[in-house]
Structure 1
Amino acid sequence: AEAAAGTDPANADTDGDGLSDGEESTETGTDPLDADTDGDGLGDGQELAFGSDPLDAASLPVDPVVQPSFVPINAQEAGVYGPDFTAPGVDYQENKYPGGVIANGQSLNNYNIHVSGSPAPNSSVTAVQPWTSHGGGGNFSTRNSPFVDGGGDNFTVRYNGYLDMRGYDAGDYTIHLQSDDTNYFVMDTVDGTVIVDDPSCCNEITQSFTISIPGLFPFDNVFGEQGGGEWTDVAISGPGITGIVALGDTGNGSPPVYIIGSGVEAPVERPAPIEPATSE
């Protein structure tokens, strides 16, 4: 039957749209041989996940809340996430390690160590911070907030949040990273996952990405410091954003960011722009 239909008997999802061939043939009415049945630029699985009609090119998601591909700092038992509009800013977690664990030139490994919890840190402090600019680097927004637990050597800082792009146009945007020593950044959008790797001190690293449907996008970044100077900046630029600005620095033009929660706190209306604390 599959061969007659043109689908691949060895592949449960012939067109790779996230829906099985059986689902498409018997439940959704979408084409199991075409990842985008209505030709609107969004995959059939994406449309169903975000509440639009994969059979109607005029039906597009409205303000989609994308689920994170990572487990956030503020993990929810149900495993379902959304922005906590009552808490503007980012979840911040600073971990201290023995020497030899965190290394310059090992950005992905530093990320995996922090996120996995293995090896366990000597100490861990969690807080909410207004933006993604810490230490004395002076890049982008130049907020340069002090590290919550004092920084030093052999430590990591993890940022989590939802980037609120609902008030911005579809288009091409850029993530900017700079650090002493490393950053590793992940953000999930309607169009897929954006990964930016800042492997070592101290050059600016950029990665362009396209937003076809503005919405609420979860992001995750781990900064790693082996020794010497320590600072980190995670920033964005693009249509409607003035210059290059640290995530959360709304006073200098960043889109709003909110900590990651269960999403039940979300109001129906769009939240008003937030006013950050005075520059330090």
Structure 2
Amino acid sequence: MAKKTVADVDVKGKKVLMRVDFNVPQDDEGRITSDDRIVKALPTIKNVLDRGGALILMSHLGRPEGARDDAYTLQPVAQRLSELLGKKVVFANDCVGPDAKAKAKALKPGDVLLLENLRFYKEEVIKDKAAKDDPKLREAKDKFAKELAAMADVYVDDAFGTAHRDNASMYTVPAVMEGKPRVAGFLVEKELTFLGDTVRNPQRPFVAILGGAKVSDKLGVIENLIPKVNRIIIGGAMAYTFLKARGKAVGNSRVEDDFMDKALQLLDQATSVGC
């Protein structure tokens, strides 16, 4: 893979801000029902710690809608991560407030700090298009990102599951850390390598199966896949937008009306190449 990874950066004595995907499933009492996403981040986490770096981990959990909601606290994740690492994981009850800043400043090589849920802050989820259209939103998003960035010397993206989002932690933080190392973690490297190899040298017939609720999140992916695959199968709730675009009755099913024209365009494009 052409992109630099955490292995290419000297992290000894450095504070490393790492975006991870700890959006783990929980039961009604907040107990983690699968720690798979935490486990997948361990190789990158251990690499930084073993080479003398200090880690500041940040993630979202659920959809708390830009306000604190203790049902979505990352504290249980900190506890589980501590168990998996066999060492203490410091937990901050905010992301850019006094607690996070003080605990980040106090970090020593080999220490791990997990910040509270990024989505407790509305600035994290401001869409970049909205920020471009509204200077106040842009200022708020940039300020939030700069406060996160100021805590660290290196930025690592190991959150492949959210790599498509323009959230502040994924998009704006690395932008404002220009001049500092900004690299991929091992999970992101692994997924990009796999996808790259699959798209460049696929076995035929090559079928792409896409699901999910939101068409808007997948439009670019679908458009790029059409000339490369033999068939695209669309499932999940986003299929209803395509069905309605074709004039099919979908009842009260979820439809993104704003994207029906684009969905129809993609359907026609796929048909024209026999996809």
- Shorter chain as normaliser: what TM range? under 0.3
More strand by share: 1
Q: Which has the higher helix share?
A: 2
- The structure, 1 or 2, with the larger RCO (C-alpha pairs under 8 Å, 6+ apart) is 1
